[in-house]
Amino acid sequence: MTLPLISLIPALPLAAVALHLLLGDRLGKRGTALLACGAVGAAFLLALRAVFALAARPEADRTLVEIVTTWMRAGDFSVDISFLLDPLSAVMILVVTGVGFLIHVYSIGYMAHDASFRRFFLYLNLFMFAMLTLVLADNFLLMFVGWEGVGLCSYLLIGFWYERPSAAQAGKKAFVVNRIGDFGFLLGMLTLFAFGGTLNFTRLFAVAPHVFAAGGTVITIATLLLFLGATGKSAQIPLYVWLPDAMEGPTPVSALIHAATMVTAGVYMVARCHVLFRLAPVSLEVVAVVGAATALFAATIGLAQNDIKRVLAYSTVSQLGYMFMACGVGAFSAGIFHLMTHSFFKALLFLGAGSVIHALSNEQDLRRMGALSSRLPWTHGTMLVATLAITGLPPLAGFFSKDEILSSAFASGHFGVWLVGVAGAVITAFYMFRLYILCFRGSSRLTHEAEQHLHESRPSMIAPLVVLAVLSAVGGWVGMPFQAGGHAFERWLRPVFEGGPAFAPARELSHGTEWALVAVSVTAGVIGILTALRLYLQSPQTATSLASRYASLRTLLVNKYWIDELLDAAVVRPFGAFSGWLWRFWDVVIVDGTVNAVGYALEGASAVLRLFQTGFVGTYALFLALGVAAMLLHFLRHG
């Protein structure tokens, strides 16, 4: 069997970008959409073919490298433009092109009335190119190119409606915060090169155990710097602040970039560098702790949000935390597994939210929604599947991956991390059902205007929702637990994660323990769902409408009302207040404040330095002479 042409996969979207630029508006909207979706669809088919070819090879030989050309070479420094297809990048390209294709199709309907239709698809295709370069790169430098490329596209797309100041501001914020992460990535990369002598993944990982002392300072610093890059791109503490603001972009962008693909780049990078991270146990601990902290922390903030997209944004931050948690406890394949299932259901949630927003004439506030289930039946049905999936109810996709993360944390002895994960699961289930109920159930709080224009989305937007709903439902079955030698997904990734230094294997759990853990995580989800049902579905407004139909239940509901108030005052209010405080104080004052302070300090310094530029030649000559004097003085004292 001939080797598949890997380089064609990123090349297709790039060619589409070139055609968009060359042909311009001559294509018309239909042509533009066809070109954009066609390129990504073809890339998906190619990716499928490549992955099948990969699967057909013996397990030990599932690494394909395609060297396109030598990028630069100087002395012993050499970097190729070359692509690496192994089981890990295979999963990534399938997710990126597959989910990406669905979102492209969805965007045709969503952006149909936008004046900058072509610009949108141009950026989307550019993003696909950068993202595929990132995941297929076989060296750090090429990965960095993709890394910066997706950052640039993210910036362009967040600020897509640049006439809105908040959108332009959010775009800038995303870019600046990401640059901090990129700086870490770059330094980490340079450190690895300085000590390892190569930037090529295969070669570097091969020499790493010999070059770096396990647990040594160098490898710890290098991996921590890489992880700093990951926290920027994947919105982890402390660099997560840009992601909620990034919701200023069009909703398909939120689904594609800020939920399904780009933000997972950090997780992918950590998984790709698992050899290095395993050499630095301290860094792995940091990854686990930061992931767990983010998972819980973002979830609590999600409780207090009323903007439907912001709830989902904090949820994304939280779920990314779970993925890092998995990597941190050494369960890299569980992290990637969750990355995949999350990309299904979170893309679906965003697209569904987009469908709701579209139907309500750009209303995003949950307080002005409600009772939409019958009016938007398709959107409602698919959203419900996604909501159940994210809460981790079996047999939906989220259950398998989240359960695997939690049991890996438990098995590796990270009980604290495990506990935080379970707590996060309760809260996740709670706020997701809160969102679901406020949006689709209860009484209608729509404005009159929105009521007038209410309509279900067109079929081209519904179709991707349905496909994603199916994936959210069954996508987790590749990870069906309790199989001898691990489940299918784990076996597929095993050649990747098996290599590298010896790693203390997690304690083998007995079946009883495993079942107990499953029970705990399912219970966690159920508790969250039930609480949400109580607080939001059975509140007074709902009660009145229910009461007219079920008069006999009325008394019961009134009694319940009293309990709800208590619960609300005792638990939800303080919790909400706390999360509100976290959001207002920690987010806005501490984190944003620090970022802004750096900016202001630089601007202040700039203003001061400008004062020296008086415009008088005399001053300039004086500085020249002073410079000489300073140098002389230095040498007279030290020379």
What's the CA gap between 518 and 386, in Å, rounded? 20
Nearer of residues 213 and 631 to other proteins, judged by Cβ: 631
Nearer of residues 22 and 502 to other proteins, judged by Cβ: 22
Indicate whether 69 belongs to the interface with other proteins (CB under 8 A).
yes
Number of other CB atoms surrounding residue 506 within 10 Å: 17
Nearer of residues 484 and 609 to other proteins, judged by Cβ: 609
Site for other proteins in 75-104 (CB under 8 A): 75, 77-78, 81
The CB-of-111 to other proteins minimum distance in angstroms stands at 18
Indicate whether 152 belongs to the interface with other proteins (CB under 8 A).
yes
The CB-of-35 to other proteins minimum distance in angstroms stands at 18
Residue 440 near residue 380, CB atoms below 8 Å = yes
Dihedral, 18, 24, 29, 33 alpha carbons, nearest 10? 0
What's the CA gap between 524 and 424, in Å, rounded? 9
Half-sphere exposure of 1 (CA within 13 A, CB side): 12
Residue 446 near residue 454, CB atoms below 8 Å = yes
Rg (CA), the chain: 26
Q: Which of 389, 400, 375, 371 is nearest to 469 (CA)?
A: 389
The CB-of-39 to other proteins minimum distance in angstroms stands at 19
SS3 307: strand
Dihedrals phi, psi of 252, to nearest 5 degrees: -60, -30
Number of residues that bind other proteins (CB under 8 A): 60
What's the CA gap between 287 and 484, in Å, rounded? 29
The CB-of-614 to other proteins minimum distance in angstroms stands at 9
Q: What is the 3-state secondary structure (H, E, C) of 557-570?
A: HHHHHHHHHHHHHH
What are the helix (H) ranges across 56-159?
Answer: 87-110, 117-136, 140-158
The CB-of-350 to other proteins minimum distance in angstroms stands at 24
The CB-of-429 to other proteins minimum distance in angstroms stands at 40
Q: Select from 114, 148, 456, 568 the one that contacts other proteins (CB under 8 A).
A: 148
The CB-of-199 to other proteins minimum distance in angstroms stands at 10
Indicate whether 179 belongs to the interface with other proteins (CB under 8 A).
yes
Stretch that binds other proteins, among 145-153, 245-253, 458-466, 549-557 (CB under 8 A): 145-153
Indicate whether 115 belongs to the interface with other proteins (CB under 8 A).
no
Indicate whether 413 belongs to the interface with other proteins (CB under 8 A).
no
Q: Which of 387, 343, 589 is nearest to 475 (CA)?
A: 343
Q: Select from 15, 31, 114, 193 the one that contacts other proteins (CB under 8 A).
A: 193
Binding mask 600-619 for other proteins (x = CB under 8 A): --xx-xxx-xx-xx-x-x-x
Residue 126 near residue 142, CB atoms below 8 Å = no
The CB-of-151 to other proteins minimum distance in angstroms stands at 9
What's the CA gap between 639 and 625, in Å, rounded? 20
The CB-of-34 to other proteins minimum distance in angstroms stands at 22
Nearer of residues 58 and 75 to other proteins, judged by Cβ: 75
Helix-strand-coil percent breakdown of the chain, rounded to 5? 80, 5, 20
Indicate whether 639 belongs to the interface with other proteins (CB under 8 A).
yes
Q: Select from 56, 74, 115, 502 the one that contacts other proteins (CB under 8 A).
A: 74
Indicate whether 162 belongs to the interface with other proteins (CB under 8 A).
yes
What's the CA gap between 248 and 264, in Å, rounded? 19
Nearer of residues 102 and 130 to other proteins, judged by Cβ: 130
The CB-of-10 to other proteins minimum distance in angstroms stands at 12
Q: Select from 10, 100, 149, 291 the one that contacts other proteins (CB under 8 A).
A: 149
Q: Select from 57, 59, 67, 70 the one that contacts other proteins (CB under 8 A).
A: 70
The CB-of-69 to other proteins minimum distance in angstroms stands at 7
Indicate whether 183 belongs to the interface with other proteins (CB under 8 A).
yes
Q: Which of 39, 52, 54, 53 is nearest to 8 (CA)?
A: 39
The CB-of-525 to other proteins minimum distance in angstroms stands at 42
The CB-of-197 to other proteins minimum distance in angstroms stands at 10
Q: Which residue has the tokens 């230095």?
A: 634
Residue 236 near residue 266, CB atoms below 8 Å = yes
Stretch that binds other proteins, among 432-440, 487-495, 573-581, 624-632 (CB under 8 A): 624-632
Which tokens go with 386? 């996604």
Stretch that binds other proteins, among 147-155, 315-323, 329-337, 373-381 (CB under 8 A): 147-155
Amino acid at 338: H
Q: Select from 3, 67, 213, 621 the one that contacts other proteins (CB under 8 A).
A: 621
The CB-of-18 to other proteins minimum distance in angstroms stands at 12
DSSP string across 109-130: HHTTT-TTHHHHHHHHHHHHHH
The pairing of strands 64-74 and 77-85 is antiparallel
Nearer of residues 474 and 630 to other proteins, judged by Cβ: 630
H helix count then E strand count, the chain: 27, 2
What's the CA gap between 472 and 388, in Å, rounded? 9
Q: Which of 493, 528, 534, 447 is nearest to 336 (CA)?
A: 493
Amino acid at 397: A
Stretch that binds other proteins, among 65-73, 243-251, 416-424, 514-522 (CB under 8 A): 65-73
Nearer of residues 55 and 194 to other proteins, judged by Cβ: 194
The CB-of-473 to other proteins minimum distance in angstroms stands at 40
Indicate whether 537 belongs to the interface with other proteins (CB under 8 A).
no
Q: Select from 123, 175, 322, 586 the one that contacts other proteins (CB under 8 A).
A: 175
Alpha carbon 596 to chain centroid, angstroms:
24
What's the CA gap between 588 and 592, in Å, rounded? 5
Indicate whether 71 belongs to the interface with other proteins (CB under 8 A).
yes
Nearer of residues 588 and 630 to other proteins, judged by Cβ: 630
Indicate whether 627 belongs to the interface with other proteins (CB under 8 A).
yes
- For residue 7, what are the CA distances in angstroms to 69, 87, 93, 412, 555? 11, 16, 12, 39, 68
Which tokens go with 131? 């993202």
Indicate whether 73 belongs to the interface with other proteins (CB under 8 A).
yes
Residues at the interface with other proteins (CB under 8 A): 21, 69-75, 77-78, 81, 141, 144-145, 148-149, 152, 159, 162, 168, 171-172, 175-176, 179-180, 182-183, 186-187, 190-191, 193-194, 599, 602-603, 605-607, 609-610, 612-613, 615, 617, 619-621, 623-624, 626-628, 630-632, 634-635, 639
